[in-house]
Amino acid sequence: LCGDLQTQMPFPFSLLCLQVIKCKAAVMWEANKPFSIEEVEVAPPKAHEVRIKIVATGICRSDDHVITGGMVMPFPIILGHEAAGVVESVGQGVTSIKPGDKVIPLFVPQCGECSSCLSTKGNLCSKNHIGSAAGFMPDGTCRFTCKGKAIHHFLGTSTFTEYTVVHEFAVAKIDSAAPLEKVCLIGCGFSTGYGAAVQTAKVEPGSTCVIFGLGGVGLSVVMGCKVAGASRIIAVDINSDKFAKAKELGATDCVNPTDFKKPIHEVLIEMTGNGVDYSFEVIGRTETMAAALACCQYNYGVSVIVGVPPAAQKITFDPMLLFTGRTWKGSVFGGWKSKDSVPKLVADYMKKKFVLDPLITHTLPFTKINEGFDLLRTGK
C-alpha cells in the first residue's frame, strides 16, 4: 500500500508519518559555560538520514575541548559523539537501517565512495567533520532548534540529547542483544585506543610499548597492547591514582613524570635500554607528543598520536629524530573503517574478547551532565 501511494504523491509517503520531536538536550550556548538542559525540537530525518533515540552517551575529552576553545566550533551547539541508541525513524532512501534497530552513531563516517573509504590504507572518510567548524548536516542545515534558534551539530553525531539525527553513512547497526550502556564506548574511546595499538601501530608479540595518558582512551591502548602480546607495557600519567586500573588492564610498569627531575623521555630510554618499540600519546599536548617520539627506539620505533591536537598550536622537534628511522603516525578512531568495523567490535565484545566495564567509572542521569564533566576535569 505504501508503495502504491508513493507513486501518486509528489513527496515520499513515509515523511507523512514523521513529525518534530520535542525532547531534552544539553545545549552549550557559549564557551566556558555549563551545559544548559533545554527542551529542543528535533526535526524529522530528511532523505538518507536517521533519527535516533539516544539511550547512553559517554563523555570524551574532545567534547571538553570545544567548551574550552581547544577545538573551535560554532555556538550554540549540542556536543557528544560517543553513544548508542535505537532508531526512531528514517528518511527517504535509507535502506541499511530500520526503526527499532540498535545503532552506534559514527563521528568518523564511512561513505564508501571517497578515496579513503576505497583505499585499504585509510579510514578517515572525506565526509568527516574533524577539523571543520561547520556544525551542520551534509546539506548545510541543522535539525535542532531551541527557543527559536538553530542549534549546531557536532561531528555529525550530537549525542547529548534524547534524540538526534545523523546521516545514513554515519551510523552502524549493531547486535540487538548488545547492552547499549556498555557498547556506547565503542563509538569513540575504546575503539580509538584499542585500534591505535592493534590496527594503526600493529603492535607485535614481545614488543615494548609506552602509553602517555591513562584516561579511557589510554587504558584502551593498554588493552590493545596486551591483546597484541606486548611483553612490556609502560603506563605514564601525572595522576598516580590511575595506576591500579592500568595494571589491572595489562600495564607492567607505571611512571609518574613528576617523580623525576630529568625529562620523561630520558627516563623511559634508561628503563628500556634503547627506547620503546611503540609509543602512544593519548593526551593531546604538543609537549607529550614530542616526548613520545623521542622515547622511541631511534631506528625502528613507531610513535602514534592519538590525542586530539590543540587548535592553533605548532610543534617543534629535532628532524634527526625522524632521519634515523623513527616513524611518526596519527590515528583517528583507531584506524577502523567505522561502518564495517563497529558491528564487528560489538560482536567481539559480546564474545567476551575484551572488557568494557573497567572503563566505566560513573553512571549518571542525563540531567547531571555538568557533574560528569567535573569528574572528567578532575581526573576521576
36 is catalytic: no
209 is catalytic: no
60 is catalytic: yes
Quick one: 362 exposed, middle or buried, by C-beta within 10 A (0-12, 13-18, 19+)? Answer: exposed
Selecting among 117, 125, 142, 188, the annotated active-site residue is: 188
C-alpha cell at 49: 538520514
C-alpha cell at 321: 629524530
CA distances from 134 to 75, 78, 116, 138 (A): 11, 13, 21, 10
Contact 296, 275 (CB under 8 A): yes
CA distances from 139 to 6, 13, 136, 161, 265 (A): 24, 21, 7, 21, 47
Q: Hey, is 365 helix, strand or coil?
A: coil
In the numeric block, the cell 568518523 is attached to 108
Contact 149, 135 (CB under 8 A): no
Selecting among 14, 81, 209, 338, the annotated active-site residue is: 81
188 is catalytic: yes
Contact 47, 150 (CB under 8 A): no
Fill in the amino acid letter for 107. F
CA pair distance 280, 237, nearest whole angstrom:
12
In the numeric block, the cell 539516544 is attached to 54
Query: Quick one: CA torsion of 315, 318, 324, 327, rounded to 10 degrees?
Result: -10
C-alpha cell at 269: 630510554
Please report which residue ranges of 211-263 form alpha helices under DSSP H: 216-227, 243-248
254 is catalytic: no
In DSSP notation, 273-336 reads SS-BSEEEE-S--HHHHHHHHHTB-TTT-EEEE-SPPPTT------THHHHTT-EEEE-SGGG-
Catalytic residues: 60, 62, 65, 81, 188
